[in-house]
Amino acid sequence: MDSIELELDAQFFDADVIARTAYRYSGDFYVLVRSASPNHVVTLRPRTPEVDMADLAARFQTDACDDRLRAHVALQTGDLQRLLMRAALESAEPKGDGRL
Q: What residue ranges bind another protein (CB under 8 A)?
A: 20, 23-28, 62, 66-67, 69-70, 72-74, 76-78, 80-81, 84-85, 87-89, 91-92, 94, 98-100
| 38 vs 78, beta carbon nearer another protein | 78
Q: Name the minimum Å distance from CB 47 to another protein.
A: 9
Task: Give me the least distance between CB of 16 and another protein, in Å please.
Answer: 12
39 vs 56, beta carbon nearer another protein: 56
Angle between helical axes of 56-90 and 15-25 (0-180°, round to 10): 100
Shortest gap between Cβ of 99 and another protein (angstroms)?
Answer: 5
